[in-house]
Each structure stands twice: as C-alpha cells, then as structure tokens.
Amino acid sequence: MEILPHDLQEYLDDHCDPEPEALQKINRDTYLKVLKPHMLSGHYQGRLLSFLSKMMQPKRILEIGTFTGYATICLAEGLTEDGIIHTIEVNREMEEMLNSHFKSTNVENKIRLHFGAAEAVIADLDEKNFDIVFIDADKKNNYSYFQLIFDKVRSGGLIIIDNVLWKGKVYGEENDADTQGIRKLNDMITADTRVEKLILPVRDGILLIRKK
C-alpha cells in the first residue's frame, strides 16, 4: 500500500534516479511468480535504501527478511569494496529465485544469504559492528529483532524498520492485534533515549533509527 496519493507517488518516482534494469526485471519477476508481491520494496523505496547505504558507506549490513532480494540489492549498492550484506530469509523455497536474482547484478559477491529463523542465524553470525540493519520480516517480532541486534550495531549506525505506518491503520481507529503491535513498536522506539528516530511516509512507512 502507498501512504501518499497516487499522483504524488508517481511524481516522486519520476524525479528520482531510474530503477536499474536488473531491479526492473526482479520487480516483474516478483509480480509474476510470488504471492503477495506488494511486499517488494519497489522503485522509490529501493532508491531510498540505496541512497542511505551510499551515504553510510557501510562495511557490514544485516537484513532480516530477504523476500525476492530487491531491497538486498539496493542496500548492497552502497557497500565498501570489501563490504558484505548478510540477509536472512525464513522460506527456503525462495532459494532458487534469490540466487538467480543476485546473479543478475554486480553485487552478487557481496551478498551472504542465510536461511532459517532470524534469532538462530543472528546468534551464529560472527559480526559485532553492523553499520546498517534493515528489519522487514514478520511484523509481530519487530521489537524483538530490534532488541536482538541493538548491541551488534555500532555507535552512529542505522536501523531501518519497514511498514511502521501499517496501511495508515496506526493513526486511525483500528485496534486489531497487528495494528496494536505496530503502534506499540513505534511508541517504544519513540521513548528510547539511546537512539534518534524519524518516520518517513514512504510506501508503508519507514522508521529510521540512529544509534547514539
């Protein structure tokens, strides 16, 4: 779902860098072959993730929730020459598609794909100073993931959480369990004095968190 009006979103899409050809193909592939293709980051959000990554010039990125690899590739665009992005996907059936998508880019050698529960994979990773963490997995565990990775993010590092406006429900009257969970996450991050935070009304809402 787009939070912004369609005409405004189209204008923004038209006035940012074009979507790379490999990502255009992944976008089409996702919509043709995968259930819930709207989970894809897409052109505008992808360019935002790439932009942030290039500003940070990260050596290490962690992504929780790979899906079809679109955001993975966008984040990898900003990695240093020896940089690595670790990305975690729970659905092993995505492996063939993901490998194909990554091979179609020039960042394939910077991507480390892991399958399994995020908690277990993170515990096994020998990494302690992530520059960027992107959380875009099962929403009910967002705050648990935030707590799990917090001490593994360097001071000044960036944590990004997707879907925090939850189709506009968080500022509406809805009180279903999922909406309440996203509201609680946003409120707890807002009250956390260890970080600076900002919600951007991009796509379904992106929460930017800078560790002090």
- Quote the CATH superfamily of domain 6-211: Vaccinia Virus protein VP39 (3.40.50.150)
Helix extents (H) in 141-176: 142-150
Helix extents (H) in the chain: 6-14, 21-33, 42-56, 70-76, 95-103, 118-124, 142-150, 177-191
How far are the Cα atoms of 70, 80, 111, 147, 203 from residue 99, in angstroms, in the given order? Answer: 12, 22, 10, 30, 26
**Per-residue pLDDT at 30:** 96
**Per-residue pLDDT at 3:** 77
Cβ proximity of 204 and 1 under 8 Å: yes
Give how far the C-alpha of residue 84 lies from the chain's centroid of Cα atoms, to the nearest Å. Answer: 15
Q: For all residues of the chain together, what is the average pLDDT?
A: 96
Cβ proximity of 35 and 94 under 8 Å: no
At 166-185, the pLDDT tens digits run 999 999 999 999 999 999 99
Structure tokens at 126: 């020998």
φ/ψ of residue 153, rounded to 5: -100, 135
**Which helix (H) or strand (E) is 87 found in, with range?**
strand 84-89
**Per-residue pLDDT at 54:** 98
Give how far the C-alpha of residue 46 lies from the chain's centroid of Cα atoms, to the nearest Å. Answer: 9
143: pLDDT strictly greater than 70: yes
The whole-angstrom separation of Cα 161 and Cα 203 is 12
Using alpha carbons, select from 139, 158, 143, 189 the residue that is nearest to residue 36: 139
| 3-state class (DSSP) for residue 212 | coil
At 5-26, the pLDDT tens digits run 889 999 999 999 999 999 999 9
**Per-residue pLDDT at 1:** 58
**Per-residue pLDDT at 2:** 65
Using alpha carbons, select from 104, 61, 63 the residue that is nearest to residue 84: 61
The whole-angstrom separation of Cα 18 and Cα 2 is 19
Domain boundaries, given as residue ranges, for the chain: 6-211
Position 58 confidence tier, pLDDT thresholds 50, 70, 90 = very high
